[in-house]
Amino acid sequence: MSKKTLTQIFNIKRVKGKLGNTLDSEEYPNKTLLDELRISLINDIMEKDIRTDNLNDFIKEEIDEHTKDLDITNLERNYLYTLIDNEINGFGPLTEVLDDDNITEILINGPKEVYIELNNELIKDETINFINNEHILRTIRRVLAPIGLRLDKDNPLVDGRLLDGSRINAITSPISPKGPIVTIKKYNTKLKTMDDLIRVGTLTKDMANFLELAIKAKLNIVISGTPFSGRTTLLNILAKEIPSEERVIIIEDAPELTLEGNNIISLETSKNLDDERVIETARHMHSDRIILGKVSTESANIALETMTSGIPSLISLHASSINDAVDTLEKLVLTRSVNTRDICLEEILDGVDLILQIKKLPDGKRKITNIAEPSEIKDNKLELKNIFNFNNIKVTEKGELTGVYNFNKERRPRALDKIKGRGYPEIEDMFKK
């Protein structure tokens, strides 16, 4: 009989995997034996055509058959049961790490090369391993099944959003000759509010208060950062400060934002529909606020036009620094604009109130390094002025980065008068010397 995948054998919908009592490896003196049993069990059940109404009994019988001549403890037997149960009802070796909220990223470079990001540190996890490349493929196909994507030779590259909001990127041959390479950026369920960002040191209390008032006063804000810098998490938390009575239109290429309210409309862009047309549609939907998950060459020009036309907007783009953010926005706008560079800079100065730069620092921590505003055009360049910035960065003996947040009270920001003029005079208290 030809081999079948686990999905074909069990033909069941995925349910939450059981964590079980997978104790520390020190509890098992013969770890090699257990791993050999795991491999033989998985290979064996793939050869069998079994029914789905007696899985528990089947697993127990298989374990009994494979261990009948071995002296293993009940703990070890339970360990084997959990491993096989994860293969059937969960996501195989990934079941527990996907369920662990402390793990924020999973990288699979090969059957025995799995890395996880834990507490902002990327480490190789020796406890996670696959039998072979085919085992990785079977597991990732189970992960992808609920979102309707498949990884195989006809579809060797997959980039998508899982049901819990986590992002998955997976490639296999012929793009990756060595076999499947997988990156899973897990949705951070621990960071949901401004207070959470303060707690982990992403920003200060003054910065949070300032941004809360800026959102309520309907300032146009650009959030800049590199991939995996925390840009989307920050956008999501800022968006939650939008007053509940507003009608908010969210535009994304894949659902990421989790706003709750009675008047929240989510739109998705697609390859078959120009981003510009989607934003144009949003502008005609009685929108009080537009949120653009990622600026593209198709959307930048109309996004800037939307901000200058009076519809408050929150937009996000990829850039490595606060100055690069301006250059990137300028270049993206000019690809679709008939205006000159001078006019483009004037539009950015007129339309953008604040630019936020968030970075993942070398020690793994994420910080808003700048909150700045466009101030003037000088020598054919748009000048930025920091309101808050993170500087004097030093490395401690433990390898952690420390620094000081500078709150520039010496200069009165243009944004201050806008916030005050839109009904939030308490902003003045923050800038009293």
Instruction: Give the pLDDT mean for 27-50.
Output: 63
Q: Which amino acid is at 301?
A: N
pLDDT for 396-429, tens place per residue?
777 777 788 888 887 889 999 999 999 999 999 9
Asked whether the predicted pLDDT for residue 6 surpasses 50, the reply is no
Structure confidence at residue 19 (pLDDT): 30
Pick the CATH number of 194-430 from 3.40.50.10610, 3.40.980.10, 3.40.50.300, 3.40.50.10330: 3.40.50.300
Q: Quick one: pLDDT band at residue 50, thresholds 50, 70, 90?
A: low
Asked whether the predicted pLDDT for residue 391 surpasses 50, the reply is yes
What does pLDDT average to over the chain?
Answer: 84
Domains in the chain: boundaries = 1-90, 97-187, 194-430
- Rounded CA gap, 245 and 207, in Å? 24
Q: How far is CA 260 from CA 113, 203, 236, 240, 312, in A?
A: 39, 24, 11, 8, 19
Asked whether the predicted pLDDT for residue 388 surpasses 90, the reply is yes
3-class secondary-structure state, position 316? strand
pTM of the model: 0.76
117 or 67: which carries more pLDDT confidence?
117
- Rounded CA gap, 63 and 56, in Å? 11
Instruction: Give the pLDDT mean for 310-322.
Output: 94
Which residue, among 222, 223, 198, has the nearest Cα to 208 in the 3D structure? 198
Strands (E), 3-150: 103-110, 113-118, 121-124
3-class secondary-structure state, position 171? strand
Q: For residue 276, give the DSSP letter.
A: H
Which residue, among 108, 105, 101, 110, has the nearest Cα to 121 in the 3D structure? 105
Asked whether the predicted pLDDT for residue 265 surpasses 50, the reply is yes
Lowest-confidence pick of 340-344, 361-365, 383-387: 361-365
Instruction: Give the pLDDT mean for 48-55.
Output: 58
Which residue, among 148, 155, 161, has the nearest Cα to 175 in the 3D structure? 155
Place of tokens 């910035």: 389
Structure confidence at residue 49 (pLDDT): 54
pLDDT for 319-340, tens place per residue?
999 999 999 999 999 988 888 8
**Which uninterrupted H or E stretch holds 297?**
none
Structure confidence at residue 71 (pLDDT): 75
Structure confidence at residue 271 (pLDDT): 62
Structure confidence at residue 12 (pLDDT): 29
Cβ–Cβ contacts within 10 Å for residue 187, how many? 19
Lowest-confidence pick of 2-6, 143-147, 205-209, 290-294: 2-6
Q: For residue 70, give the DSSP letter.
A: S
Place of tokens 């998955």: 168
Q: Quick one: pLDDT band at residue 46, thresholds 50, 70, 90?
A: low
Q: Which amino acid is at 262?
A: N
Instruction: Give the pLDDT mean for 165-186.
Output: 93
Structure confidence at residue 160 (pLDDT): 86
Pick the CATH number of 97-187 from 3.30.450.380, 3.40.50.970, 3.40.50.300, 2.40.50.250: 3.30.450.380
Place of tokens 């009675």: 262
Q: Residue 256 contacts by C-beta under 8 Å, 6 or more apart in sequence?
A: 161, 165, 232, 236, 293
Which residue, among 311, 352, 363, has the nearest Cα to 329 in the 3D structure? 352
Cβ–Cβ contacts within 10 Å for residue 108, how many? 22
- Rounded CA gap, 367 and 200, in Å? 9
Structure confidence at residue 20 (pLDDT): 34
Torsion of Cα atoms, 355 then 360 then 365 then 369, to 10°: -30
Which residues, in sequence order, are bridge partners of residue 406?
389
- Rounded CA gap, 79 and 391, in Å? 49
Q: Quick one: pLDDT band at residue 277, thresholds 50, 70, 90?
A: confident
